Amino acid sequence: MFSHSGRRLSGVLLSLATATLLASPVASAAGANQQSTVHGGDAMYTVSPGPGREPYYCSAGFAIVVKGVRYILTAGHCTEHGLDWKDIGANLDTHFPGTDYGRIRDAGGSGPSSVDLYDGRTQRILRAGIPRVGQAVCRSGMTTKKKCGKVLGLGQTVDYGAGKQVVGTIATDIPVSSGDSGGPLFAGGIGYGVLSGGNSQVSFYQPLPPVLAAYGASLA
């Protein structure tokens, strides 16, 4: 969890040695839905390589297209944890720490980029943007579903300990929990970022526009 004594939202977040990354072991993700069409905030399941073969859940972010090929964007610390995501596709890359994003091949094709609102509806995401401080925003994730709040700061640096920092994040007051990592931050049809980490009081997001630019991608 985050240490409030080390939190500063005027420019840079430092000394957050207990910041939490929110990939979730399968034991805490019972009942998560797997489905062929993947919306932002939906559960994704993988198993870590190596002798432990530890299972993990994260949340889908945005459907993107790079040179005509479809991918699901999520948190980079999620794509560290496995090779293939059940009913979705294979990891392509991971960018973490420093930034926190990665791609999964969308083998099934999930249609236009959209977010699961967890009330039987989805929200189409039409473009990427940067929010304003104080702006109302929402986040979707497999554990805490859709939650809304406001933007606390931009350009924030989060220290996860062990030399792992993520820079340039969007900070909000939206609560998050294990398994929500990678889920989308949005308002209406605008996508703002994917969840990096947080707790029950504050959450931090990798901004979407620089990720799309780095990949040469567009929203699906």
The whole-angstrom separation of Cα 180 and Cα 162 is 22
User: CA geometry: angle at 163 spanning 161 and 168, to 5°?
Assistant: 85
The active-site residue, picked from 24, 39, 42, 77, is 77
Residue 181 catalytic? yes
Q: Which of 59, 181, 196, 203 is catalytic?
A: 181
Known catalytic residue: 116? no
Structure tokens, 108? 């099934």
Q: Hey, what are 10's tokens?
A: 């005027």
Please identify which of the residues 24, 81, 95, 100 carries the catalytic annotation.
Answer: 100
DSSP strand pairing (165-172 vs 203-207): antiparallel
- Using DSSP bridges, classify how beta strands 184-187 and 136-141 pair: parallel, antiparallel or unpaired: antiparallel
Q: Are 155 and 11 in contact (CB under 8 A)?
A: yes
Q: Is 100 a catalytic residue?
A: yes
Across the beta sheet with 69-74, the strand order is 24-25, 55-59, 43-47, 84-85, 89-95, 101-105, 69-74, 62-66, 218-219
β pairing state of 136-141 and 145-159: antiparallel
Residues serving a catalytic function are 77, 100, 181
